[in-house]
Structure 1
Amino acid sequence: MDIAVVGGGIAGCSAALHAAEAGARVALVEGQSIGWGASGRNAGHLPAATKHEPEEVVRLYGETFGPRIVEASENGPRTVAAIAERYGIECELAFPGIITAAHTPRALEGLKHRVEYWQKRERPLELLDRATLTAMLGSGFYLGGSIDRRGGSINPLAYVRGLARAAIERGARIHENSPARALHRDGTKWLVETGAGAIRADNVLLCTNAYTDELWPGLRRTVIPVRTVQFTTKPLSDNLLKTILPGRQPMIDTRRVLISVRIHQDGRLHFGCGPSMRAGSAPTWQVARARLLEVFPQLGDVEFDDWWPGWMAFNKADSWQMHTLAPGLFAALGCNGRGVALATIYGRDLARHATGTPASDLTLPMTPLDPVGLHALSGVGAAAIAQWWRIRDAVEMRGLKAQN
């Protein structure tokens, strides 16, 4: 093989697809099924942004890579849409925009700065006063907000499986239920060993993200798995669907332990409640429902339909990282809550690099491993951080409620 990919999430499947399309012989191994991790279990939001504001991205990554990252993230939803159209992936893509709701005056000022930055560049962002936001949300809970009309929503599991099908159609071999158990050099090749056999390849791409183990020394210690939980309700009544997110924009708020909400095409309300962190217990439906009713009291005795947990990979940079681990061995991981579009882009970049594109021409720079200190205690530490975030959110929310 020319390229072996470890990990069947969005990054891995994007890498396999783009490498196969470039003419490479590709094999992908996945320990579970395609999209089994956070790639198929996330909130399904498609923002046209990284977690950092553009000026911060340029400060962190410099004048060469910073603007590339800003441009790639801005175009991320369109990149996903173009791929879905090109390969016939039916994944419920919609682009009504994304709403961000502010829970404090300071957060609202931050949104104002973001909107002003992009409006100067003639992008379709708008600041929403409280009355306008109330009409768009069906809730007067927040102080105001913004809408970025470049963003949208997606069925992430359908998307990642569509990437895998497209890769197979172009000659890639995909092996599910085949966890990589060992990785080492075998002469001039890399050998990826699984329980069912081994793959010899010139290049190996590690796309395991929050599910990274000890396959390569030190890589696991660069990320902290963070658990989030998603809930869906039974389909809402017609009356509720007319009042809650009537424009069908997905919404997130500005709390540290934020909530995310969107309406599925079948009328179910999808609610993200987290993170709960590695050492924390998962939120129950009762806890999630209480938070949901804070924002949308008209839901009343809303009926629970389903829930699922998933793991995201956080790191010290609070951003994606790409690494050259050894000659012919590369990794991309650290979604930090920005997975669908950026995983697509960075998986594509890994494929390009493995098929000859210089690292200097990629979107994201190759950086050395940056392990988390006292990683063995990171679960406890992350849980403590999450609890501190909740306390700070609670203090701020008391101020918000006093104004309602």
Structure 2
Amino acid sequence: MSGPLTSLWQASAAEDFAAPPLQGERSVDLAIVGGGYTGLSAALEAAGQGADVTLLEAETVGHGGSGRNVGLVNAGLWLPPDAVCKTLGQAAGEHLNTVLAGAPDLVFDLIETHNIACEPVRNGTLHLAHAPKGVAQLRERLAQMQARGAPVRLLEATEVATRTGTERFHGALHDPRAGTIQPLAYARGLARATAEQGARLHEQSPVTAATRHGGQWVIHTPGGKLRAKHLLMATNAYHIPAPPVRLPEMPVVQFYQLATEPLGDNLARDILAGGEGCWDTGLVMTSLRRDAAGRIILGGMGGDASAHANWAERKLTQLFPHLRGTEISHAWAGRIAMTGNHLPRIQRIGQGGYAIYGYSGRGIAPGTVFGRAAARALLSGQEDDLPVPVIDAHREAFAGLRTLYYETGARMVHLIAARG
């Protein structure tokens, strides 16, 4: 691989969207900062309720994690459901587990309702055991998920080899509720649908200040000003300070991906022929999927191209030796905001204001349901149906050091794997 490469999602998105910067002053019911899944889902819900909504995006819709991720629409979090209950308490934990179990339904319903051209495939995901010890982890997760009625199944290594096209994995947990999408196209499609519902969206409109004055939020951008009854900050790992609102510094993990050129059946017929998306049990997680054009897409923790590109190409060849020498046509990276317990947060930032962050690598389905729920709660004043309880403050200890720890760990794992 040589020369600068770009995001596959930018190159292949069938949905297009553009919006002008905010100019002038306006009063609205709800102002939303951030044009990712959370903000767009909130805007779509609020506009559908007849609210006057304006969404501000500092760059372009889907510029952050929403346009850079793997595109797996999962039912749940990295944490198994028992761990969610242990952290949040039984009642709150089971509520979140239930909400997220149904999250893929919402995503695929929105795609169908608004005719979003984002390559949706709902054939499930495979949580792959990267080593024999990974099978034990999957058995524990299987029992916890089946106890809650999830239609999941543990696959033996032989079936996994048939489904994936490689014998490198020792088992897998198949979740038929899940699926894959083209993630940037989904974000742009949500933006289009939101505008069609009457909301106003503005790109290239970074928020420079957000204050509470006279019973309203006053939000400033370089070109304009909003007065809003309610405010949702949905910026996650790409947050830009908007004083005096302060959000906690978050540990950040980079996630690197590469994509092959489109491969014909002679090379890729047996690789994920069923269209499942995959992620493994490794501490430094690896993802695997393919797109509608037949590209194989491999991802892994770590975002430094020079350190991780060599690992990714070697990893691809280890999994599929017959792909040695295949052209890598795209490579890109994005940031993941990681909370200490891997649970997302809804933080109160003032009267009528929330900030949502910390999806820890699970942004598509959780972001969609969290955004919709936040819009409903802000407009109604009722918080009982929010996915997690609202907190007034949050702190992540040693966020900068933990960011360095994550990146260093990923680099070391990849270097060791490259030598193996």
In the aligned structure 1, how far is the partner of 2:201 from the partner of 2:412?
A: 45
2:16 aligned partner = none
Q: Secondary structure at the match of 2:217?
A: strand
2:10 aligned partner = none
In the aligned structure 1, how far is the partner of 2:394 from the partner of 2:331?
A: 34
In the aligned structure 1, how far is the partner of 2:333 from the partner of 2:410?
A: 20
* Partner AA of 1:353 in structure 2: A
Cα distance per residue 1:320-339 (max 9 Å; x no partner):
10011111111111110000
2:8 aligned partner = none
Q: How does 1:43-62 map to 2 (within 5 A)?
A: 43-62=70-89
Tell me: CA distance 1:357–1:220, structure 2 relative to 1, closer, same or farther (3 Å). closer
Tell me: CA distance 1:216–1:74, structure 2 relative to 1, closer, same or farther (3 Å). farther
Query: How far apart are 1:43 and its partner, in Å?
Result: 0.3
In the aligned structure 2, how far is the partner of 1:49 from the partner of 1:367?
A: 21
Cα distance per residue 1:293-345 (max 9 Å; x no partner):
12222211111111122112112231210011111111111110000010001
Q: Secondary structure at the match of 1:245?
A: coil
Residue of 160, 166, 169 corresponding to 1:142: 169
2:109 aligned partner = 82
Tell me: CA distance 1:357–1:67, structure 2 relative to 1, closer, same or farther (3 Å). farther
Query: How far apart are 1:104 and its partner, in Å?
Result: 2.6
Segments of structure 2 that go 5 or more residues without pairing to the other structure are 1-27
Tell me: CA distance 1:283–1:172, structure 2 relative to 1, closer, same or farther (3 Å). farther
In the aligned structure 1, how far is the partner of 2:173 from the partner of 2:307?
A: 28
2:155 aligned partner = 128
1:253 aligned partner = 280
Q: How does 1:4-403 map to 2 (within 5 A)?
A: 4-216=31-243, 219-276=246-303, 283-375=307-399, 378=400, 380-388=401-409, 391=412
Runs of 4+ displaced beyond 6 Å? 392-395
In the aligned structure 2, how far is the partner of 1:260 from the partner of 1:308?
A: 14
Please say if residues 206 and 222 of structure 2, whose CA atoms lie closer than 8 Å, have aligned partners that are also in contact. yes
What's the RMSD between the two structures over aligned residues?
2.1
Name the stretch that deviates more: 228-237 or 8-17: 228-237
Q: Secondary structure at the match of 2:218?
A: strand
Please say if residues 99 and 146 of structure 1, whose CA atoms lie closer than 8 Å, have aligned partners that are also in contact. yes
Name the stretch that deviates more: 150-159 or 59-68: 59-68
Q: Secondary structure at the match of 2:348?
A: strand
2:4 aligned partner = none
Please say if residues 212 and 219 of structure 1, whose CA atoms lie closer than 8 Å, have aligned partners that are also in contact. no
Cα distance per residue 1:19-76 (max 9 Å; x no partner):
1111111111100011111101110011111111111112222233212211111111
* Partner AA of 2:390 in structure 1: M
Q: Secondary structure at the match of 1:230?
A: strand
Tell me: CA distance 1:200–1:21, structure 2 relative to 1, closer, same or farther (3 Å). same
Name the stretch that deviates more: 121-130 or 41-50: 121-130
Please say if residues 43 and 54 of structure 2, whose CA atoms lie closer than 8 Å, have aligned partners that are also in contact. yes
Please say if residues 213 and 220 of structure 1, whose CA atoms lie closer than 8 Å, have aligned partners that are also in contact. no
Q: Secondary structure at the match of 2:89?
A: helix
Count, aligned residues: 392
Q: Secondary structure at the match of 1:248?
A: coil
Tell me: CA distance 1:221–1:281, structure 2 relative to 1, closer, same or farther (3 Å). farther
Tell me: CA distance 1:383–1:281, structure 2 relative to 1, closer, same or farther (3 Å). farther
* Partner AA of 2:76 in structure 1: A
In the aligned structure 2, how far is the partner of 1:335 from the partner of 1:164?
A: 21
In the aligned structure 2, how far is the partner of 1:232 from the partner of 1:151?
A: 22
Please say if residues 207 and 331 of structure 1, whose CA atoms lie closer than 8 Å, have aligned partners that are also in contact. yes
Identical columns (%): 33
Tell me: CA distance 1:120–1:325, structure 2 relative to 1, closer, same or farther (3 Å). closer
In the aligned structure 2, how far is the partner of 1:174 from the partner of 1:392?
A: 42
TM-score, scaled to structure 2: 0.88
Tell me: CA distance 1:149–1:356, structure 2 relative to 1, closer, same or farther (3 Å). same
Tell me: CA distance 1:316–1:122, structure 2 relative to 1, closer, same or farther (3 Å). closer
Q: Secondary structure at the match of 1:94?
A: coil
In the aligned structure 2, how far is the partner of 1:228 from the partner of 1:365?
A: 29
Please say if residues 4 and 205 of structure 1, whose CA atoms lie closer than 8 Å, have aligned partners that are also in contact. yes
Please say if residues 210 and 245 of structure 2, whose CA atoms lie closer than 8 Å, have aligned partners that are also in contact. no
In the aligned structure 2, how far is the partner of 1:58 from the partner of 1:381?
A: 25
Cα distance per residue 1:369-388 (max 9 Å; x no partner):
2222344xx1x542233433
Name the stretch that deviates more: 211-220 or 12-21: 211-220
